Structure 1
Amino acid sequence: MTILLFGITKDIVGSSTLSVPTSSITNRTIPKTVSELKKCLGDTYPELNKLSSLAVAVNNAYAEDDQLINAFDEIALIPPVSGG
């Protein structure tokens, strides 16, 4: 599963993309929903938990936490945006 990262999420992870194994994740179950993915990423990158909000897009559409995901989906993490 490949995740596209933008803004501060890219800085936290240290890359513009992140590959999440779909066979197993360090003795955890494979994330099946957006919520499970956020939890998994927050456990691996605790700084993500400190963001005031974190939107997730699945296949170019904003996704709710209960949306199902799979290894073939295009997933993007969209951090809070400030304007000026």
Structure 2
Amino acid sequence: MSSTCLGPCRPIDEAQAHRIARVAEGAAERVERALDIAAEKRTLAQHCTCGGEIDMHDGEGRSPVAHCARCGRFWTEGGLIAT
């Protein structure tokens, strides 16, 4: 009985394995963003009135929340919620 090769018939090298991992990671990130299941945090270009940086947290199906890293203020889509 002879066997037939149905897949890659030679081992992949380190560069190929690295590229496959990068592509898979990028695909997973795009799927998470599309399904809104990824938690995201980013610093906004706009600063708080106190001069502090504002971090925006959103994703995972939640409404976005902004937080000043300096004074501790919190904002939602409805406006300021805590100081």
Q: TM over 0.5, yes or no?
A: no
**Taking structure 2 as the reference length, what is the TM-score of the superposition?**
0.20
Structure with greater Cα Rg: 2
Higher strand share: 2
Higher RCO, 1 or 2 (CA under 8 Å, sep at least 6)?
1
**Taking structure 1 as the reference length, what is the TM-score of the superposition?**
0.20
